[in-house]
Amino acid sequence: MKIVFCVLAAFVVSFVVGHFLLPLLRALKAGQSIREIGPKWHASKAGTPTMGGLMFLAGMLVCLLFGIPALRQGDLTLVFLVLFTLAFALIGFLDDFMKVKYHRNLGLTALQKLALQLAASGCFLALLRWNGALSGDLYIPFWNVSFQVNWILYLVFAMFVMVGCVNAVNLTDGIDGLAAGVTIPVMVFFTLAAILWKKTELALFPAALVGALAGFLCYNFHPAKVFMGDTGSLALGAAVCGAAFALDMPLILILVGIIYILETVSVILQVGYFKLTHGKRIFRMTPIHHHFEMGGWSEIKIFTVFTLVTVVFCVIAYLGILGR
């Protein structure tokens, strides 16, 4: 029952914050700059307020209130998850702020973002290890076995998985509502997985995000009144991979994060093929949601199909962990 109340409370907080945040962002002229290499019709979205991710971040914090009993018992995993997500939100906020201030589509440099993301990931993993939440073993779903890995190798592997996941979610945030819509079933999966493994207090984090993202979608669904910006997308990516590592099953990201992976792979294939063939393309445009958009799919259709695909893979992932 506490999980249900957490979801509802997070929804209300996110929705109410959005009601007051939107006019503020408009007054500050915190409008989104649209990339010139994207679909031409996206130019009409220029000036739409950005940094809307602050809405669901506010809703996410509700989990700390419901998690007070666990915090009193000394289990800080929930706090570490929230701080990790907020750290990436701060990186995204700095990026958004520079874009808005200088009215350009470039904020922090790629090297600056990479350094900050690796540092935040390393600290989070070390804290999970210290807290006893992270074994350092690789759990294999369906087979329900774990393989021991040298901690240093695991740390390096995990840091780059986390940075990759965060930036994959960032790529997914390319059309109205998509990143939020795809991430809701992922967070439902992590909520059910935590409950299944009797980590009820940890389940509060993804549960709060389910409600908070639903509240955010009230403003971000097509046609979007606000964008989450890097403030939201980097935080969302951190929440996804953070939950996977906090539950000690990072490989499950291959299934639940299938859309994030396809978005990233489409870009890698496109760039590689373009260079090898001196100008030829595999897709009409990448990330892959733009390929379907250029093929005539509406933003609502892409949102619906990509979200349903994620739901299917989350169900498969849940079946894969039942025997643990």
Q: What phi and psi values does residue 198 have, to the nearest 5 degrees?
A: 60, 35
State residue 79's pLDDT score.
94
Q: Where are the alpha helices (DSSP H) in the chain?
A: 2-27, 53-60, 62-66, 68-72, 77-102, 110-131, 151-172, 178-196, 200-220, 229-246, 253-256, 258-276, 288-294, 299-321
Residue 138 has pLDDT above 80, yes or no: yes
Closest CA to 42 of 145, 210, 175, 222: 175
pTM value?
0.93
Residue by residue, DSSP assigns 203-229 as: HHHHHHHHHHHHHHHHHHSSSPS---H
Give the whole-angstrom CA distance, residue 301 versus residue 221: 12
- The better pLDDT of the pair 137, 37 is held by 137
Look at 22-26, 81-85, 108-112 and tell me which has the smallest mean pLDDT: 108-112
Residue 36 has pLDDT above 60, yes or no: no
pLDDT digits (tens, 9 = 90+) for 86-123: 999 999 999 888 877 766 666 678 898 999 999 999 99
Residue 254 has pLDDT above 90, yes or no: yes
Please report which confidence band the pLDDT of residue 26 belongs to, taking 50, 70 and 90 as the band edges. confident
State residue 72's pLDDT score.
73
Q: How many domains does the chain have?
A: 1
State residue 48's pLDDT score.
84
Average pLDDT, the chain: 90
Largest Cα span, the chain: 61
- What's the whole-number mean pLDDT along residues 33-52? 66
State residue 95's pLDDT score.
86
State residue 122's pLDDT score.
95
For residue 144, the enclosing domain spans 2-321
Q: Are 121 and 154 a contacting pair, CB within 8 Å?
A: no
pLDDT digits (tens, 9 = 90+) for 199-236: 989 999 999 999 999 999 999 999 999 999 899 999 99
State residue 30's pLDDT score.
66
Give the whole-angstrom CA distance, residue 115 versus residue 127: 19
Q: Which residues contact 299 (CB under 8 A, 6 or more apart)?
A: 175, 176, 177, 178, 222, 293
- What's the whole-number mean pLDDT along residues 10-28? 93
Q: Are 189 and 314 a contacting pair, CB within 8 Å?
A: yes
Rg (CA), the chain: 19
Q: What phi and psi values does residue 31 have, to the nearest 5 degrees?
A: -90, 150
Residue 37 has pLDDT above 60, yes or no: no
Percent of the chain with pLDDT over 90: 72
State residue 99's pLDDT score.
74
